[in-house]
Chain A
C-alpha cells in the first residue's frame, strides 16, 4: 500500500439539518493516513451523522469534504473503505462465511484464496468456529464481531468504525484494540466513533471532540487532554507569597488548590520547600494530567463536578 500524505478524510464546514435539528453545524476536521483517529462526543453530538455523510449514505446540507481524495460518497473511494455501522444487521439467513463472500463480491475482491481469507477474518474476530452458522443465530456481540471482520475485509485504506465495542465483553474490547493496532501497522487509517473515553485514550493517536455538531477540540491526545498540572492543596497564600512563586511557571488558584502548569517533576520538591519557607501548611501535592473525562466535560460545556474536599 502506498502511503500518501494526503488526508484520508478532510471535511470543511460540513452541515446537516434534519428538519429543525442541526445534526452538524459546521464540522471541520482532517484525518491523516495511517493514524487511529478517535471521534468523541456525547450522545446526539453528530458522530453517526458525520460517518453517514462521509460514505454518501446521507447528503450534506452544506459544506464540502473528501474521502480518500475523492468527493464525499464517491463510489471508487468506497471500495477502499471498510465500515462498521452503529445500528445494523446482516442478512440473518446468510452464514457468517457467506456474509464475507457477499461483501468480497461487492468490493470485487479477487477469487484466489478467498476461502482462506474468510477463515482468517473470522479467526481474527474470534468467530472461527461459527463460520457456518446463520447470522440470525448470532448474539449481538457476535454480530458486531462479524461486522468488524467485514469492515476489515480486503485491507481497506480507511476503516470507519461506529461504536465498534458497544456490544462487546471486556475481552472483546481488548481484542478490538489489538486488531486496530495491527491494521494501523499495515498502513490503514482508522476512524473510531465512540463515547467511551477509556477506549479512545488507549488506542488513538489523535482525537477530535465533537459536541452539538461542531469539533470543539482536535489534536494529539496530549494536546486535547490538556497540559501537565501540579496541584497543591494547602492553606491560602497571600498575594506577596504568590508573587514569589512566579519562578515555578504559570500559576492559578482554584479554591483551596494552587495549580502549576507544566511544572517539571524534578522541581516539585523545590516548590514544596519554597511553600514551606513561606510558612504554608501543605495537605497534598498531586502531579499529573487533567483526566480526559474532566476535560471532556469541560469541552462539552458541563462543569466538572467539584473535587471532593
Chain B
C-alpha cells in the first residue's frame, strides 16, 4: 500500500501535475491578495466602518472558497477517475496485480497517495489565501483550521467517489460523473435552504427532504456549510441566524455541521472505499 502511495505521489510529481497545481494555487492566492488589498484600501479611504469591511472581506473569502471548492472537486475527480481505470485499460494493472499485492492495498495506496496530493494542494492554497487576506485586510476568520479541514474533506469525498467509479468506468466517464454528482449535491443543498425559507412562511411545503437526501448520498454540500461557517465573523452569524432569508443563502451557515453529519461523512467515505475495494476485487483483468 505504501509502495503504491509513493508511486502515486511520484507520478503526480513526475508528470508535473503537482507543479501545475502549485503554480495555479500561487497565482490564485496572488490575485486574491491583490484584489482584497485594493478593495480594503479603497473602502478605508472612503471611511467605511471597520465592521462593514470585515463583513465584506468575509463574504469575499466565502465566494473565493466557493469557487475553490469547485476547482478542488474537479481536481479530485480528474486525479481520481483515471487512477485505476487507466491502469486497467493500459495493462499496467496486469503486471502490478500479478505481484503479491492485494487489490485492496492497491486501491488504498492510490487513495492515500492522491489524498496527500489533494490535501497538500487544497489545504495549502486555502491556508495561504486566508493568511494573505488576513495580512492585507486585517480580517482573519475565527477559526483558520476549520474551513481548511472542511474544504479538504470535500475534496476527499469527491476523490473517494471518483476512485469507486474508476474501478468500473473509463477515466472520462468516471470523472464526469463525479463532477456532476458534486454539482447536484450542491444544488440539493441550495434547494433545501430555499425550502427552509419557504417553509417558514408556508408550513406544509417541505423541500428539506431534498437536501437531506442529497447530503446523505454525497456529503460534500454539508461539508461546504462547514467551510462557510468557519469563514464567517461571529457577529454575522449572531445577526443573521434565524432570519429565513439569510438562512436561504447558500453562502451563509448559521451553525457548523452536526456531529451526526460528520460521523456520517466519515462513514460514507469508509463505505464507498469498501465498495470500491469490493468492486475492484470482483473485476476481471
**Chain A residues near B (Cβ < 8 Å):** 52, 55, 57-59, 75-76, 78-79, 81, 83, 85, 87-91, 93-94, 102-103, 105-108, 147, 150
Decide if B94 is an interface residue (CB 8 Å cutoff): yes
Question: For the complex, is B263 an interface residue (Cβ under 8 Å from A)?
Answer: no
Cα(A222)–Cα(B99), bound, Å: 35
Pick the most buried of A59, A76, A88, A150: most chain B CB atoms within 10 A of its CB.
A88
B98 touches A57 (CB 8 A): yes
The reply to whether the CB of B204 lies closer than 8 angstroms to some CB of chain A is no
Known A105-B3, A106-B3; contact A90-B92, beta-carbon cutoff 8 A = yes
| Closest chain A CB from B277 CB (angstroms) | 15
Q: Are A83 and B285 in contact (CB under 8 A)?
A: no
Which of B3, B99, B100, B285 contacts A58 (CB under 8 A)? B285
Answer whether A88 and B91 are a contact pair too, CB < 8 Å, given A59-B284, A93-B11: yes
Name the CB-closest residue of A to B100.
A79
Q: How far is the CB of B247 from chain A (nearest CB, A)?
A: 49
| Residue from the set A76, A83, A150 with the largest chain B CB neighbour count within 10 Å | A83
B14 touches A93 (CB 8 A): yes
Contacts of A87 in B (CB 8 A): 91, 94
A291–B90 Cα distance when bound, in Å, is: 38
Contacts of B94 in A (CB 8 A): 57, 83, 85, 87-88
- Sampled A-B contacts (23; CB under 8 Å): A52-B285, A57-B98, A57-B284, A59-B284, A75-B102, A78-B98, A78-B99, A83-B95, A85-B94, A85-B98, A87-B94, A88-B91, A88-B95, A89-B90, A89-B91, A90-B95, A93-B14, A94-B14, A103-B99, A106-B3, A106-B100, A147-B95, A150-B95
**In the complex the two chains form, is B100's CB within 8 Å of A78's CB?**
yes
Contact with A along B71-89 (1 / 0, CB 8 A): 0000000000000000000
Q: Which residues of A contact B101 (CB under 8 A)?
A: 106
Question: What residue in chain A is nearest B106 (Cβ atoms)?
Answer: A106
Q: Is the CB of B3 within 8 A of A91?
A: no
Q: Are A107 and B95 in contact (CB under 8 A)?
A: no
Q: For B102, list chain A residues within 8 Å (CB).
A: 75
Query: What CA separation (Å) do A88 and B285 show in the bound complex?
Result: 11
Taking CB as reference atom, which chain B residue is nearest A98?
B10
Q: How close is A153's CB to chain B, nearest CB, in angstroms?
A: 10
Report whether A107 and B97 are in contact in the complex, using a CB–CB cutoff of 8 Å.
no
Is there an interface contact between B100 and A75, defined as CB atoms closer than 8 Å? yes
> Are B100 and A57 interface neighbours, CB within 8 A?
no
Q: Is B144 an interface residue (CB 8 A)?
A: no
Cβ-closest chain A residue relative to B96: A106
> How far is A171 from B178 in the complex, measured between Cα atoms in Å?
49
Contact B91 A106 (CB under 8 A): no
Say if the beta carbon of B7 comes within 8 Å of chain A: yes
* Bound: A52/B283 CA distance, A: 12
Query: B15–A93 contact, CB under 8 A?
Result: yes
- Among candidates A59, A83, A91, A94, residue contacting B98 with C-beta atoms closer than 8 Å: A83
Find the residue from A52, A106, A147 having the highest chain B CB count within 10 A: A106
On whether the beta carbons of B3 and A89 are closer than 8 Å, the reply is no
Q: Are A85 and B100 interface neighbours, CB within 8 A? A: no
A91 near B100 with CB under 8 A, answer no
Cα separation A88 to B87 with both chains bound (whole Å)? 10
Residues of B with C-beta under 8 A to A90:
92, 95
**Which residues in B have their C-beta under 8 angstroms from that of A81?**
98
- Which residues of chain B are near A91, meaning CB under 8 Å? 7, 11, 92
Q: Check A107/B99 contact, CB under 8 A, given A57-B94, A93-B11.
A: yes
Residues of B with C-beta under 8 A to A55: 98
Residue of B nearest to A55 (CB): B98
Q: Which residues of B contact A83 (CB under 8 A)?
A: 94-95, 98
Could you say which residues of chain B place their CB within 8 Å of the CB of A58?
A: 284-285
Structural contact, B99 and A106, CB atoms closer than 8 A: yes
Closest to B14 in A: A93
A88 touches B100 (CB 8 A): no
CB distance from A94 to the nearest CB of B (A): 8
